[in-house]
Amino acid sequence: MDNGSYKTLIQVKREREAQRKTKYRVDSKERLKKIARKKIQTTMIGALDTIEKHLGFLWGPDEDGELSNEARQLKEIYNRVRQEILDRGNGQIRNLDTELEQYDVEWLRFNLTLPVRRRQEDNG
């Protein structure tokens, strides 16, 4: 192998390593975005669930399965509140995405190094 092809191989290896690192950073950022989005969505849905669990009886049907005028009005109010919560949460998700674009992110995976010890042989 001549010196020129060796240098070419080294250059190709460095370029691939740089590409791999860049892809890892992009993947790390996308992973963080996905996790953060899910946490915000879970918070929004959890808040709505709590409201429904504790106050849902106010806009639920009566014994005949009908909604009274008051229940209908309360349900409309709840739907507006629900939509506002979801809109604000989705706005915060978009803000988070915009904010994360200003950062380089690298996932520091958990590494475990196990010690290797030589086995001692029993001679009797």
19-32 mean pLDDT: 95
Task: Tell me what percent of the residues of the chain surpass a pLDDT of 90.
Answer: 73
pLDDT of residue 101: 95
Residues with Cβ < 8 Å from 101, sequence gap 6 or more? none
CA distances from 64 to 61, 68, 79, 117 (A): 7, 10, 23, 75
Q: Place 65 in a pLDDT band, splitting at 50, 70 and 90.
A: confident
Mean pLDDT of 36-55: 96
Q: Token digits for 95?
A: 């803000």
The candidate with the shortest Cα–Cα distance to 45, out of 11, 7, 93, is: 93
Looking at the chain, the whole-number percentage of residues with pLDDT higher than 70 is: 97
In this prediction, residues 36-65 reach a mean pLDDT of 92
CB atoms within 10 A of CB 59: 19
Give residues with Cβ within 8 angstroms of 44, minimum separation 6: 85, 86, 89
> Does the pLDDT at position 62 exceed 90?
no
pTM of the model: 0.73
* pLDDT at position 123 over 70: no
| Mean pLDDT value across the chain | 91
User: Residue 64 has what pLDDT?
Assistant: 81
